[in-house]
Structure 1
C-alpha cells in the first residue's frame, strides 16, 4: 500500500508487475543450460582419455536427472555421493538439482560408521559411490535398517560385471538409458540445493544447507575472486565434495570453462596437467601448496604461464606463499567456512603494493582481506557486546558474516541454527584482528586460543614461526594442561625428509623469534591428522595433549 504522500505520486508506478517474464528463481542449473548453447563445442570435462563438450555434458545431466526420477527421486529428496574428483561427481552437481533433489556430498576419507551416521541423518535415498570406495560404502549400508539405493561409478575401461552385486546400479548405464526430458526447476530459489556436512576440525558433523539462490550467487563471486575470465581451464585439486568445490563445480559452467579432473592429487600430476592442458587456475588448502613447494625437482615442470591458485582453509605460512610465487604461481588468499558456501573474503591486491619488498607483499597476502560483493557485510566483533573491535591490528574479536551467501541453517538442528545466527549475524567461531585499512587477519579458532598465565596465545602465530624453520614440513599447536600456567603451547611437528632435530632446538628457535611465554614447552614429532580438505584435526591433537597430563 502507498502512504498518502506516496499515493499522490503513485499513478506513475501503476502497471508494474512481477511475472514469469521478469522474475525467475536463481539457480546454478541455468549456468549449464546457457553453456550448452553458448559454449556447446567447448571442452567441459577432461579426465584421462575422457573428454566431453558442454553440449554433451548437458545431455548427460538431463539423462541422469531422468534416471533419478525413474528410480523414485522426488522433490527435495536427498541424493548422496562418495566420490573423488571424477567426471560423475561434476555431473551430479547439476543432475541432482535438475531432478528436483538435494545433493549431499560425503567426505571420501570418512569411515563406514561415520558415513552411516550421515546417511541416516540426511535420509539419503540414493548413494552414488566410486568403485574404489565401494567396500567402505557397503560397510556403511550394512549398518542401516533402510539403506539407500547404491549406484556405482566405474572407470570406462572397467569391464567387470555387476551380476554378482544384485541391487547395485551402474552409473554409465543410468546415463545411457535416461531420457532428455524437461528438468524440475526449483519451486523457489530458497529451496535447498545441497547439504554439506562439516567433518573437518570438529568431531561432531553438522549438515549445512545451501539454497539455489546462495549457490548461484557464490558461484559467481568465487569465479570473480579467482580472477577468471571466459573459458578458463581449471585443475581440480580442491575436493568437489568440500563446499561443492567452493561452488566452482557450478561456477565453471557459468564461464564455459574446462574442468580438468584428477582422481589423486600429487605434484607430478599437477605439473603434468598444467603442461598438457594449459591450466590457468587451480585451488587448494595450504597443505596442497606445501606439497608443491616441497616436491622433488624431478616431479616439476617449468610452468607455461602464470597459474592462479586460490588457497584457503587455514592461514598459509608466509614462507610457503613466497616459494609458490618463486615457482611461477600467483597466489590469492581466501577465507570462509562451510557455512558461507566456502570463500567469503579475499585479499584485494592494491597496485601500490607492487613496489613493496617481497617480504612485505607476502605478509599482506597472508591476510584474509575483505568480503566479496555477494556478501552484505563482514565484521570483527566482541561476541558478548556485539561491538566492532577497533582497527588497531591488535584487538581480538570474532569474525561475523551477514548476507545472501550465508547458509540457510543446519539440517534438522534448530537450536544450533539459532545459536549460530544469534544477534543477527553468523558467528564463525574464528578470532581475528582488523588493520587500519579495514582488512581482517585471522588469528585463531575461538577454541584453539591458548590461555597461559592470563595471556592469549595465537596458535596460528606460533605455527607460522614453526613453518619458517628449515627442518619442519608441517606444524600444529594446541594447548597442554599446566599446573602453574593453566595451559602452555604443545607443538606437533613433522620434519622434512632427511632432517634430524630435537625438541629443545625447536623451542629455542621459537624463543629467539617470539616472547618466551609464546614458545612451545612441549614438542611432539609425528604425522598430523588431517581431513581430506587439508585441515588439521586439532580436536585429535587436543585429546593427545590432554592424555600427556599436566606439566608441573
Structure 2
C-alpha cells in the first residue's frame, strides 16, 4: 500500500526517534519533540473547536517562534491550509491578502497586532483573531490560555492526500496585488527530501531560524530539520549580536538568511571579533554575491558558504552552488567564482536556460535566456488566478521570469530579472506597484521604477520621473510621499527627473533603456540582456 507524502509524517518521525531531544528553543523556553507534538495536538483540537475543516485557510502573522513552528503541523492535522503573512507589510496589504485568501482564523503576535487592529472591520472572512504573547490591553483571544484548554493526546487527523494544498503563500510579482502560490504536501515533502540531501542535514545539526518562516516556510526548514530530529533555535527578532550569541551558546551549525543579514554579521564581526570554534554552514539566496564576499565569509568567519536559488512557486529551492567532487582540481579562485553563482540543479529539479523559442541556450556562460524549472516543487498554481497560472506554467515548466546563463560546468548564473521584480533585503517588490503609488502624486506625469544597487539592502527601488507641466516636486518630497503610501522597504530611495521616458512604438516604457541610462550616469556599463 502506498503511503501518501504528507507533512505530518515528518513530526511523527521526530517524535518516534527523538522524542526526548530538544526540538526547539525559543527565547528562554525549550520543548522536546514530545512536548512540541503535544502542543500541536492542542492546536489541532482548538482549530477543530473553532469549526476549521479540511481546505479552510488559517493565517499567521508572526515572527520565528515555537508558535509559528507548531502552526504548520497543527494546521495540517485538521487538513487546513497555512497562510503565512509577511510581517513587513502595511495594514491595507493584509486586508487584501486575508480577504483574497478567505482566511477564517488569524494568529498574530502581540507586537504585530497594531498592523491588524486598524483594519479589523474590513476583514470579510476572518472569524477569530488569536494573539500570541497577548498583553492585558488587547481584547482578543489569548493563545496560551486558549491552547491550555485542549488535550495533548494523539489527535485523530483528517485524511490527507499528497496533492492537497497545504500552504498558500503570497508573493509580489509584476502586478500590483500579490499572488497566492498554492503548494501541496507533495511539493513540500519532495522538496524537503532533496534539500536535506544537498545541505547535508543530520540529526546532530542545530538550526538557527534567521530567515523568517513566512518566506516559503523559511525555505522549507520546519519540515526537513524536523524530519531529521535536528534542534531548532529561534527568536522573534534577529540582530547581528543576537545571531552571534545564539551561535555561540547553542553551537548552531547551520543558518539560512538573506545576503543583507550576512553582510550585517560581517560588519559586526569586524567590530567585535567574536570567537566561534565550531563548524557553521550558512545558506544564502538572493542576488549573486561578489566572489570577494564569499572569501570573507569563509576565511574571516570560517563558515562554509552555500548559495542556493529558488522562488516561492518552486517550493522554493531548485539550484545549489556547492563544488562537485570532480571539480576539486579547479583553483580556489575558480571555485569561489562558481560558489557565487545560483548553481546547478538539485535532485528532482530539471532547470534549463531557454531562448524565446523554448530551446536551450549554449553552455557558454554568456548567452542569456529565461530560467525554466520543471520539478516536484513546482506549485499547483495561483489561488483564484487562472490567467496568471497559465502565463508561467507552460509545457510542463515554470517560467521564472529570471534571465540567466549556464557555463561549461552546468552552473547557472542569474543576470537580470525579466519581470522587473526588485529584491531588496530578501523581499520581492513589484515595480508596477511602486509606480502606481507615484502616479498618485499630483505633480507626477509619468514614472518608471528600476532596481539600483544598495550597500545594505542589495538593491532598492529608484524612480525616473516626468513632472507635469508647470508643477514642481523635490526628490525628498517624492521619497516621503512613497514612504507614506507603501511599506518602507518598498518605497523609492532615489529620484531621477527626466523630460521624457523612452517608449516603444506602442507606447510601452522601455525599462532596458532606463537601466542603461542609470548605469551610464554612475560611470558603469549597463547590464544588457538580449
- In the alignment, which of 323, 326, 330 is matched to residue 304 of structure 2? 330
1:110 Cα deviation (Å)? Answer: 0.8
Please tell me whether the aligned partners of residues 36 and 54 of structure 1 are also in contact (alpha carbons under 8 angstroms). Answer: yes
Q: 1:54 to 1:92 in 2, by over 3 A?
A: same
Please tell me whether the aligned partners of residues 252 and 258 of structure 1 are also in contact (alpha carbons under 8 angstroms). Answer: yes
1:253 matched to 2:236: no
1:209 Cα deviation (Å)? Answer: 0.5
1:434 matched to 2:406: yes
Deviates more, 1:132-141 or 1:473-482: 473-482
- Structure with bigger gyration radius: 1
TM-score, scaled to structure 2: 0.80
Deviates more, 1:219-228 or 1:123-132: 219-228
Structure 2 unaligned residues grouped into runs of 5+: 423-449, 467-474, 502-516, 522-530
Q: Deviations over 1:226-269 (max 9, x none)?
A: 22122310001100010011111111111001110022121111
- In the alignment, which of 119, 138, 143 is matched to residue 140 of structure 1? 119
Q: 1:449 to 1:215 in 2, by over 3 A?
A: closer
- Equivalent residue number for residue 238 of structure 2: 265
Q: Deviations over 1:407-434 (max 9, x none)?
A: 1100010111111112331100000001
Please tell me whether the aligned partners of residues 25 and 186 of structure 1 are also in contact (alpha carbons under 8 angstroms). Answer: no
Q: 1:475 to 1:258 in 2, by over 3 A?
A: closer
Structure 1 unaligned residues grouped into runs of 5+: 1-21, 451-458, 484-491, 493-523
1:295 matched to 2:268: yes
- In the alignment, which of 165, 168, 172 is matched to residue 195 of structure 1? 168
- In the alignment, which of 346, 367, 370 is matched to residue 372 of structure 1? 346
Matches within 5 A, 1:317-356: 317-325=290-298, 326-351=300-325, 353-354=327-328, 356=330
1:479 Cα deviation (Å)? Answer: 8.3
Give the distance between the partners of 2:149 and 2:203, measured in 1 at CA.
33
Q: Deviations over 1:412-470 (max 9, x none)?
A: 101111111123311000000011122211111013499xxxxxxxx99x95xxx8xxx
Q: 1:415 to 1:422 in 2, by over 3 A?
A: same
Give the distance between the partners of 1:300 and 1:84, measured in 2 at CA.
28
Q: 1:423 to 1:351 in 2, by over 3 A?
A: closer
- Equivalent residue number for residue 238 of structure 1: 211
Give the distance between the partners of 2:89 and 2:17, measured in 1 at CA.
39
1:443 matched to 2:446: no
Question: CA-atom RMSD, angstroms?
Answer: 3.1
1:134 Cα deviation (Å)? Answer: 0.9
Give the distance between the partners of 1:349 and 1:284, measured in 2 at CA.
20
Paired residues in the alignment total 460
Give the distance between the partners of 1:282 and 1:548, measured in 2 at CA.
47
- Equivalent residue number for residue 93 of structure 2: 114
1:183 Cα deviation (Å)? Answer: 3.5
Is the partner of 1:309 in helix, strand or coil? strand
Deviates more, 1:340-349 or 1:289-298: 289-298
- In the alignment, which of 442, 446, 459 is matched to residue 476 of structure 1? 459
Q: 1:482 to 1:98 in 2, by over 3 A?
A: closer
Q: 1:355 to 1:436 in 2, by over 3 A?
A: closer
TM-score, scaled to structure 1: 0.77
Is the partner of 1:142 in helix, strand or coil? helix
Q: 1:548 to 1:338 in 2, by over 3 A?
A: farther
1:175 Cα deviation (Å)? Answer: 2.2
